[in-house]
Structure 1
Amino acid sequence: MAPETRALEPGPAFPFVRALKTVNDQLIKLYPGSQEGFTVILVVSDPTQDNGRLQTGIQQHGLTVEVFQTEPQRFIKGLKDKGTHLFLSEDPVMVREALTGGVPAATIHKPEQMLETSEKQLRVAFDADAVLFSDESERVYKKEGLQPYLKHERENVDRPLEQGPLERFAKALYRLQGMFHDKGYHRNCPIRTFLVTSRTASYTGVRALNTLRSFDLEIDEVFFLSGSNKGPVLQAIRPHVFFDDQDPHINSAKEHGVVSAHVPYGIANEQANQN
């Protein structure tokens, strides 16, 4: 008799992936036979990895995940060929390679004590600059200081920022939300998005809202924190994952039990790598 295979322990992305499956299940109920929804792919670039154990673990946890075996030097091409909207990994080197190669990516971090998250609704929170938007404004702030930054934002309040590295993923969420809205699922939509930004509610916030409109992208809830600690707000939101480009915000999220994902993009990360 073969020994029982011990299930793999859930990682930081487990609740997120489980929530994606919940959305897919509800989508199929509304649109029988639809090919829309999330496709979750487990990228395996380690030739010594036991794929059989991975498949067993996936089945034991009741997930729907495709295992994609690839050579390390070819994984970016594989992600592009599959039209990947988001690549998550605990390996920052792989994440930087993916992002440099044009694939939306982030390094996921698990807090010591994870908050319980919804099993009925996917909840995703984004920072604004250098995540959904380009780092144009952040560059002015980092290089010239607060007052030049405020002047820059005031003068450009009606000029939208360029797209950031995760704009494409946010648009994919919004497109699926629209499918639920078309069936009358508004307040009880199984996808909810949040923008948690250090911008203020004045013209710096107005520029953020103008930028979202230029993307034809709606975010369900927007929090302008004026530089305050993001952790308490994220703790109240309880997202399955929070995306930010700066380590202090990532650490604050982790301290409040929130799974966070670092996007290594923009001037803040360039300066961090130089130190």
Structure 2
Amino acid sequence: MTTPITPAEPSNAQLVVAITARALFQLEDGHDLFEREGVKAYADFQRQRENEALAPGIAFPLVKKLLALNAGAPAGRPRVEVILLSRNSSDTGLRIFNAIEHYGLGIIRAVFTSGAPVYPYIKPFGAQLFLSANPESVRRALEHGVAAATILPAKSAGDSAGEASTPDEKEDVSGQLRIAFDGDAVIFGDESERVSQQDGIAAFHAHETERAHEPLSGGPFRGFLAALHELQQAFPARNSPIRTALVTARSAPAHKRVILTLREWDVRLDEALFLGGRDKGPFLQAFGADLFFDDSKHNVENARQHVATGHVPHGVSNP
């Protein structure tokens, strides 16, 4: 059993994460039925089972760790809020709220759109991150300036193509929330990645060396990283329940610009892995990432052999 971590001092920092029902719970059976037979069949299916708890979905372990950061927070001032966004109706969504109650998740706000897009409601809630199982919803959120990713489960060694492991309810003995980020086109803009893809690695290194003291532009996840960093400040650095890592294909001499950019932004990343093109998956497993964000489909497929991964469809790698 882990010892609760006491914040170093009161903080007004709040992290707001919006998540879809299909990312939080296993709703694929019902979704497949909807695709085959339509809304009425789906509605009947959910009503008949509304008192049966839904199984945990891809993002369930992550959400539990996020909400656990509220332990000891002042009443009415949670450090983290998770907002549920769903294309269900409020009627079929009752089963989802029942599952939230069953698992004791502290989620009190939700939007049910009866099939309409959910992304317009992300910004009014002030969410810094949106996680969905629907790639189109993720793209629309990114277009509207919200950090967003299509969350994909880790594949176990025995999984066949297209299948993935299901999260269980075993507790991480550390209880620490561990989030890892790619650099270019995720935390940073994609201008350097464009040089690499268009002109080659030698041109990329020359470009980054010449501009080592020129801060990189911010990518779609800069705001989320800043919010996560601010939340970290509420806890003692030596015993924080949050740990972050940069896991990038960059290597020396392209490392310098990254370090100086983060210094300019006054943002802390606990670990930085400059892998020089090595596969990221084994390193993410060694870090123990609860979730890793990357724009490259190749990196995403490699990473999800080991950890849950969010694809960020942004930048030159995602035309």
| Pair in the same fold by TM > 0.5 | yes
Q: CA deviation at 1:3?
A: 8.3
Q: Against the structure 1 CA distance between its residues 147 and 14, is the aligned structure 2 distance closer, same or farther, given a 3 Å change threshold? A: same
Q: Distance in 2 between matches of 1:253 and 1:172?
A: 24
* Distance of 2:268 and 2:193 partners within structure 1: 22
- Give, in whole Å, the separation in 2 of the partners of 1:58 and 1:119: 24
More moved, 33-42 vs 234-243? 33-42
Give unpaired runs (5+ residues) of structure 1. Answer: 271-275
Instruction: Give 1:54's aligned residue.
Output: 96
Aligned-pair CA distance for 1:21: 1.1
Partners in 1 of 2:225 and 2:63 — Cα distance? 16
TM-superposition CA deviations, 1:173-195 (whole Å, max 9, x none): 11111111xxxx22211111111
Shift of 1:196: 0.5
| In 1: Cα distance, 2:210 partner to 2:130 partner | 36
Q: Which residue of 1 aligns with 2:310?
A: 261
Identity of aligned residues (%): 41
Does residue 237 of structure 2 align to residue 194 of structure 1?
Answer: no
Query: Cα 1:213–1:223, aligned 2, differ >3 Å: closer, same or farther?
Result: same
Local SS of the residue matching 2:250: coil
After TM superposition, the score normalised by the length of structure 1 is 0.88
- Per the alignment, residue 103 of structure 1 pairs with 146
Rounded Cα–Cα distance in structure 2 between residues aligned with 1:3 and 1:195: 42
Q: Which has the higher helix share?
A: 1
Note the 1:158-237 alignment, pairs <5 A. 158-180=213-235, 185-200=236-251, 202-237=252-287
Displacement of 1:49 in angstroms is 6.5
Q: Deviations over 1:130-179 (max 9, x none)?
A: 00000010010111111111110110011011111011111111111111
> 1:4: Cα distance to partner?
8.2
How large is the Cα RMSD of the aligned pairs? 2.0
* Partners of 2:58 and 2:151 within 8 A in 1: yes
Cα pair 1:150 1:204 within 8 Å, conserved = yes
The match for 1:273 is none
| Structure 2 CA distance for partners of 1:118 and 1:136, relative to 1, 3 Å | farther
Work out the number of aligned pairs and report it.
Answer: 259
Pick from 54, 59, 62 the counterpart of residue 8 of structure 1: 54
CA distance in 2 between counterparts of 1:170 and 1:118 reads 25
Q: What SS class does the counterpart of residue 284 from structure 2 fall into?
A: helix
> Who is 2:118 aligned against?
75
CA offset at residue 72 of structure 1? 5.5
Q: Is the 8 A contact 2:147 2:220 kept in 1?
A: yes
Contact in 1 for aligned 2:185/2:219 (Cα 8 Å)? yes
AA aligned to 1:140 is V
Distance of 1:4 and 1:238 partners within structure 2: 35
User: After TM superposition, which residue ranges in structure 1, 4 or more long, deviate above 6 angstroms?
Assistant: none
| SS, match of residue 25 in structure 1 | coil
| Paired position in structure 1 for 2:192 | 137
CA offset digits 1:221-251 (Å, max 9, x no partner): 1111011010110111111100000011111
Q: 1:70 to 1:34 in 2, by over 3 A?
A: same
